[in-house]
Amino acid sequence: MHKRIVITGIGGLCGLGTNAPAIWNEMRAGRSAIGAIDNPLLHDLKVKVGCEIKALPEHGIDRKQVVSMDRFSLLATIAAREAAQQAGLNPHAANTYRMGTIVGVGVCGWEAIEENYRAILLEGKNRAGIFTVPKVMPGAAAGHVSMNLGLRGPVFGITSACSSSNHAIASAVDQIRLGRADVMVAGGTDAPLVWGILKGWEALRVLSPDTCRPFSADRQGLVLGEGAGMVVLETYEHAMARGAAILAEIAGVGLSADASDIVAPTIEGPEAAMRFCLVDAGLNPEDVDYLNAHGTGTKANDQIETAAIKRVFGGHAYKLSISSTKSMHAHCLGASGALEMIACVMAIHQGIVPPTANYREADADCDLDITPNVARERAVRTAISNSFAFGGTNAVLAVKAV
């Protein structure tokens, strides 16, 4: 028998807002934060559209720690502090080795990489910044969260491109079920609005020139954003024993791989991950009310995801409420799944399905109910969150009301 794993805290920041309530407020209102990127360090990009955090919140993180962080680590730590505060986490000598963190990261500390290349190659400096190595490493975000919160249990980073958040949450569930921890802070982070990364994405020809329009016939591609999202996970018994408020329960996890192409998705991989998730959760297709789609806004993704949903859910596919919140917070790579988890938890709490913003034109290949432009009131007992990534790595989570 699986231990029941519940969520007792959520935290996040992205272009929509600098805490989870602000993010949800904008999602519910269907407001997209995608727009022109202000950053003057982005030089000669063709695509100048993204989803930026315009100003970081007051975070109270010690300056000595901040100077050793790249932006992705700072975002993760801010989100983790919010989630831990909501959960009322209190690490101390007796429990610190029973609490850990796993942070998903799609890229890494590219800000530091770029600063150093520019300093050495363009400005003729003869050495790199002293904190370059610790700033750059993909596992740095998990290390910083653990140091900031005092978590001495299982701590590591996970990377699987756009599925990193969901893989991190799934792995954190496993740590608790295996008895290695009582509490895990898990989620994802990324800060990809850096010249070198955007040049790379430009070359792939999948970036939209205007905005992200998932499932709309006139969609032109994805938009990159920055952000972080974190959840506090613990067993139901542990949460009850300490009197924590339970927000939702992780009902199931489904993982699969396409084993096909490094960038082109298949129908079978996502289909398998969704099926495995339902089985793991002990759910029938008709038990699911809301599906937070991967929904990147590329021609291929949205069509293939729609086909996979129909295979898994059959006739119930047309009764599901579906939306892609990437239409509002853009594709935050390693952070996407965790930001979308905030949408799922709040949809369950408030009985509101956040919409797919920027929708303009029906597409015969994407004919499911994608909640266009306006949120919908609906009792949500169970929600599913899809993450499908380059490399064909698929991670699907199911959450339900407690």
Q: What is the pLDDT of residues 84-128, one digit of tens each?
A: 999 999 999 999 999 999 999 999 999 999 999 999 999 999 999
Structure tokens that stand for 211 in this block = 């905005």
Largest CA distance in the chain: 64
Whether the pLDDT of residue 329 is over 90: the answer is: yes
User: Mean pLDDT of all residues in the chain?
Assistant: 97
Asked if residue 196 belongs to a domain, the reply is: yes
**Degrees (nearest 5) of the Cα angle 257, 262, 268?**
35
Q: Using the Cα atoms of residue 185, residue 166, residue 192 and residue 115 in order, give the sign of their dihedral.
A: positive
pLDDT given for residue 173 in this prediction:
98
Measured distance CA(109)–CA(140) in Å, rounded = 9
Measured distance CA(187)–CA(335) in Å, rounded = 7
Structure tokens that stand for 115 in this block = 């600063």
Measured distance CA(140)–CA(350) in Å, rounded = 35
Contact 134, 150 (CB under 8 A): no
Residues 235 and 270 in one domain: no
Residues 258 and 200 in one domain: no
- Name, in order, each residue with C-beta under 8 angstroms of 160's C-beta and a sequence gap of 6 or more: 104, 167, 389, 391, 393, 395
Structure tokens that stand for 82 in this block = 């919010």
- Name, in order, each residue with C-beta under 8 angstroms of 357's C-beta and a sequence gap of 6 or more: 30, 31, 32, 327, 328, 373
Q: How many residues in the chain?
A: 402
pLDDT given for residue 92 in this prediction:
96
Mean pLDDT calculated for residue range 152-168: 98
Asked if residue 248 belongs to a domain, the reply is: no
pLDDT given for residue 47 in this prediction:
84
**pLDDT per position as a tens digit, 362-378:** 999 999 999 999 999 99
Q: Label residue 41 by pLDDT band (50, 70, 90).
A: confident
Residues 54 and 188 in one domain: yes
Asked if residue 246 belongs to a domain, the reply is: no
Per annotation, catalytic residue among 14, 108, 162, 277: 162
Asked if residue 302 belongs to a domain, the reply is: yes
Contact 164, 333 (CB under 8 A): yes
Count structural domains, the chain: 2
At 366 the three-state DSSP class reads strand
Q: 363: which strand partners?
A: 366
Mean pLDDT calculated for residue range 188-202: 95
Residues 221 and 318 in one domain: no
Mean pLDDT calculated for residue range 327-348: 98
Q: 232: which strand partners?
A: 9, 185
pLDDT given for residue 45 in this prediction:
86
Asked if residue 51 belongs to a domain, the reply is: yes
Please confirm, yes or no, whether 162 is among the known catalytic residues. yes
Residues 42 and 186 in one domain: yes
Residues 192 and 262 in one domain: no
Measured distance CA(175)–CA(173) in Å, rounded = 6
Q: 10: which strand partners?
A: 231
Measured distance CA(35)–CA(323) in Å, rounded = 20
Q: Label residue 1 by pLDDT band (50, 70, 90).
A: low
Asked if residue 247 belongs to a domain, the reply is: no
> How far lies 106's CA from each of 167, 226, 239, 401, in Å?
11, 11, 30, 29
Mean pLDDT calculated for residue range 201-225: 97
Per annotation, catalytic residue among 331, 332, 344, 366: 331
Residues 228 and 295 in one domain: no
Asked if residue 384 belongs to a domain, the reply is: yes
Q: Which amino acid is at 286?
A: E
> How far lies 64's CA from each of 68, 69, 141, 148, in Å?
7, 9, 15, 11
**pLDDT per position as a tens digit, 284-320:** 999 999 999 999 999 999 999 999 999 999 999 999 9
Please confirm, yes or no, whether 294 is among the known catalytic residues. yes
% of the chain exceeding 70 in pLDDT = 100
Mean pLDDT calculated for residue range 64-72: 97
Closest CA to 32 of 337, 385, 351, 360: 360
Domain that holds residue 176: 5-241
Mean pLDDT calculated for residue range 375-383: 98
Specify the range with the lowest mean pLDDT, choosing from 2-6, 20-24, 153-157, 173-177. Answer: 2-6
CATH number, position 384? 3.40.47.10
Q: At what angle do helices 20-29 and 336-350 cross, to 10 degrees?
A: 70
Residues 160 and 103 in one domain: yes
Q: 229: which strand partners?
A: 12, 188
Residues 190 and 334 in one domain: no
Asked if residue 84 belongs to a domain, the reply is: yes
Residues 10 and 92 in one domain: yes
Number of other residues whose CB lies within 10 A of the CB of residue 390: 17
